[in-house]
Amino acid sequence: MFFVPELIEKKRNGGKLSKDEIRYLVEGYVKGEIPDYQMAAFLMAVYFRGMDEEETAELTLAMARSGEMVDLSAIEGVKVDKHSSGGIADTTTLVLLPLAASAGVKVAKLSGRGLGHTGGTIDKLESIPGFNTELSKEEFIRIVNEIGAAISGQSKDLVPADKKLYALRDVTATVDSIPLIASSIMSKKIACGADKIILDVKFGNGAFMKKYEDALELAKTMVKIGELAGKPTVAYVTDMDQPLGMAIGNALEIIEAAEVLKGRGHEDLLNLSLEFGAEMMRLSGIEEDKAKAREKLLENIKSGKALEKFKEIINKQGGNPGVLEDYSLLPQARFRCEVEAQEEGWIESIDALKLGLTAMKLGAGRQKKDDRIDHSVGIWLGGKIGDRVEKGKPLAVIYANDEEKLKWALKEVREAFRISPNKVEKRKLIRARITAENLEEF
């Protein structure tokens, strides 16, 4: 039995908490035995004093074990999960899931809904008529064993400590803390039952972490947590100073994923999906040479095998795979309006956050948890940083169901682009790769 004020004081004074002390705090808070005001004081102490690697790992494990721990042992082979820290037009999972599965990787993906810019992966998949994102554990495991991949919503019993702690952090100005962010993300990944983990930690205007150095520190911390928890982890730090893909919005991102799997998508989304897919093949023991793995994945795109795998996943989960060939089967917005360039030149910058918030207010995302998502609305970009634009040509296309919101969005989207008369270099997407043994910066 511990005395909570003493634990708060210990951390406030820069002391190190033991495994049992951390577990006591987490379990007591989840059970309601430790009140909000004491846990808020503890979180503030962590915010100012931080936690070392062992403390952060113990906090993560205590949070993961606060609820259901998913057992995926009935799935044959190595299970690799991928998590993104969130961004604008981040359609990677929709491409990666079928792409990696087409090469033999077992992808058992438990995903959440979005709160913010656009929907989460589950929301995007629910754009597909009939697609079932609420699989039972038995259905989920059976589908992965049969076709190599499935995706389902997370159980409400998964990591209840994170739900309570995040809600408290949100109202006590303690969100922006590396140990607390890392434990929040990794507790869910560990509880989801994967054997190995890939992390995409984004930085920039459209990301949670604004600075590269902060994203790098977060990535290193999460890799260390994964190793200490017995879950080999690889993290990438990637650029989110502009949208990743061209589509922002739920049905639009299904279309973009299909286009990438047909070999017609934007190079950034394609290259990131290939990098993660090759890493998953390496971690699974399928292909140690990542260059060869990438070649196999590209061949699966060229041959149509990756697209067929996406159709197979959709079919197995009750959806209509015909949407990948006939996009009119997806939800359609009433209004489509082009945002024309007012001058010619090169795209110098794109305010990713502004575009994400605009898409959210059109209905593509949630401002509150109980908001309903409009799967049909969103924004499709006409170019990215470094691309040449001509006067009168579209910088973007807005899809909306409300004329007043459309008028407002036109102004917002136009203001998000800055055009230069001089040629602009394209941005580097992948900036670092971190493993337990090595840090590569690009």
Active-site positions read: 83, 162, 169, 184, 188
Tell me which DSSP letter residue 361 carries: I
Distances (CA, A) of 150 to 10, 199, 207: 45, 19, 27
Query: Hey, CA dihedral for 271, 276, 282, 285, is it positive or negative?
Result: negative
Q: How far apart are CA 35 and CA 109, in angstroms?
A: 34
Element spanning 406, H or E = helix 403-416
Q: How far apart are CA 97 and CA 149, in angstroms?
A: 7
Q: How far apart are CA 430 and CA 442, in angstroms?
A: 7
Q: How far apart are CA 103 and CA 269, in angstroms?
A: 18
Q: How far apart are CA 344 and CA 378, in angstroms?
A: 25
User: Distance from first CA to last CA of the chain, Å, rounded?
Assistant: 49
Distances (CA, A) of 418 to 351, 385, 430: 9, 9, 23
For helices 36-49 and 19-31, what crossing angle results, to 10°?
Answer: 140
Distances (CA, A) of 69 to 59, 63, 95: 15, 11, 27
Q: Are 86 and 116 in contact (CB under 8 A)?
A: yes
Q: What is the DSSP string of 46-100?
A: HHHH---HHHHHHHHHHHHTTS-----TTS-S-BEEEEE---SS--HHHHHHHHH
Task: Please state the separation of Cα 230 from the chain's center in Å.
Answer: 22
3-state secondary structure of 392: coil
Q: What is the DSSP string of 282-330?
A: HHHTS-S-HHHHHHHHHHHHHTTHHHHHHHHHHHHTT--GGGGT-GGGS
Tell me which DSSP letter residue 194 carries: -
